[in-house]
Structure 1
Amino acid sequence: MSILEKILTLFRGAATEAGQSIVDKNAVRILDQEIRDAQNESVRARDELARLMAQQRLAGDKLQARQDKKAEYEGHIAKLLAANDQNLAREVAAKVAQLESELAAEQKDCDNLAGAVAKMHDAIKSADRRITGLQQQVDQVKVNESVLRSQSAIAARHSGQNAKLRTALDSLERLKAQQAERGAQIEAADALAKNDGDGDLEARLAKAGLVAGSVSADDVLARYQKVTATVEPPAQLGAPGESPAQTVPAEKVKAN
């Protein structure tokens, strides 16, 4: 297959797909038009049926007239035979024979017309039933299509509402996080303010000796010097051979 043939095949395939897509999208509209066409055909069929029935009636009337004429001639034959008029009776008999031939042909035509009328009547009834059934199915399809469109619209609105709710919840969570962060910042600022305000005051109170538990190196040294002075008596000259008084460590005295 050449390139040109492939391209033409591609175009035919694309045209077929496009046509099928159009048909699928307009299936209900196409069905409606087909039903209208079928109804129009049914109307024309009814007109044709009426024409055939008229022909059948005319043929029946003509057949009945010939039968009446035949019966009349047959009566004449009986009277002529009774009058012994053989020649005229023969002529009338020839006319009756002609009428019988015509009656046979006309009877056949009437039978054919009756059969055609019956067949067309049955065909019209069958077509009407099919059209009615198809119309009911199309109506059901339209109802289903309306329901599907309504459900699709509801689903779309529900989806949109869910998306909006999710967006609102996300915004609410972000707002809560921002509020919590601002609250933490405020608490930290308050703590810093308290520390900054009380720190200088505590230092000045400790310097004044009013804060319990505040001990400086000078205080500790003074305390030890006081203990040492209390334990060690003034130095005295002892007797020969006596050792000077031993200094008792402050920790030992404190322990005693």
Structure 2
Amino acid sequence: MNTMRKIYTAIRGSARENAESVIDANAIRIFEQEILDAEQAIMQSKQKLAYIMAERVQLERASQQLSEQIKSRESQTAKALKINDEPLANELAEDILNKEHEKSAQWTAIKNLTSREQALSQKIQQSAQQVLTFRRELGIAKANAYAQSASSQVGPQTSALETNLSDLKISLQRIQQKQQHLDDTTNALNSIEKAIGESSLDQKVEQAGLGARQAEIQSVLERVRE
């Protein structure tokens, strides 16, 4: 039983490590989605704030109408008292009292709504400012990630470039060596031809003054002397 518990613990540990690896690999994407979720929550809070504000305005409007009705009833009560109509005056006074109670309840509700409105508005402003800060941090994080990615690629690219340049240098040296060898071979063949070929013998005859051209020149000189 102890062995099974350890295996289960190891599996849970492995799952946690895998989950953390996934989170680390997608940290920026997760961060961006969390910002979007926060912005959506702020939008919903704004809708709630608008509803609270609308309710407050309606209550204030109703309270104003009650104030006008109370004034009207007070005027009517005063007139009823002048004509000594006590029952009507009492009935009007009771209606005034009910309207004042209703107005008092409305103002209590207005006060509560105003308090909630102010607290929610302040919370929205603070949250919006924080999300804006997170948005800026997201931009910086993306820029850093891009720079780090580009920087990590510089090493392999530089190494590949150096390898290419080295290969080019070796290839050029092989070409130059081959061309030089060909030139050396050609020069050697020319030297051999001059040393042992027929043209070499003719050249030696000419150098010794025994060539046909030299004999003709000698013949001309002897004729001239006679």
What is the TM-score normalised by the length of structure 2? Answer: 0.71
Aligned to 1:84: 84
Deviations 1:178-212 (A, max 9, x none): 99xx9xxxxxxxxxxxxxxxxxxxxxxxxxxxxxx
Q: CA deviation at 1:26?
A: 0.3
| Distance in 2 of aligned mates of 1:10 and 1:87 | 88
Aligned to 1:58: 58
AA aligned opposite 1:95: D
Matches within 5 A, 1:213-232: none
| Distance in 1 of aligned mates of 2:156 and 2:117 | 57
Matches within 5 A, 1:35-114: 35-114=35-114
What is the TM-score normalised by the length of structure 1? Answer: 0.63
- 1:10 pairs with 2:10: yes
- 1:145 pairs with 2:174: no
| Distance in 2 of aligned mates of 1:12 and 1:19 | 10
Q: CA deviation at 1:52?
A: 1.3
Q: CA deviation at 1:19?
A: 0.5
Q: CA RMSD in A?
A: 3.0
Deviations 1:64-89 (A, max 9, x none): 11111111111222222233322221
Q: CA deviation at 1:133?
A: 0.9
Aligned to 1:189: none
Aligned to 1:23: 23
| Distance in 1 of aligned mates of 2:163 and 2:148 | 22
Deviates most, 136-145 or 158-167: 158-167
Aligned to 2:119: 119
SS in 2 for 1:143: helix
Gaps of 5+ in 1: 183-256
Q: Which has the larger radius of gyration?
A: 1
Deviations 1:113-143 (A, max 9, x none): 1111111111111111111111111111001
Q: CA deviation at 1:112?
A: 0.9
Identity of aligned residues (%): 26
Q: CA deviation at 1:164?
A: 4.4
AA aligned opposite 2:126: S
AA aligned opposite 1:122: Q
| Distance in 2 of aligned mates of 1:144 and 1:150 | 10
AA aligned opposite 1:101: H
| Distance in 2 of aligned mates of 1:69 and 1:147 | 71
Gaps of 5+ in 2: 182-226
Aligned to 1:160: 160
AA aligned opposite 2:132: T
| Distance in 2 of aligned mates of 1:64 and 1:8 | 69
Q: CA deviation at 1:156?
A: 2.2
Distance verdict in 2 for CA 1:111–1:148, change over 3 Å: same
Aligned to 2:133: 133
Higher relative contact order (CA 8 A, sep 6+): 2
AA aligned opposite 2:106: E
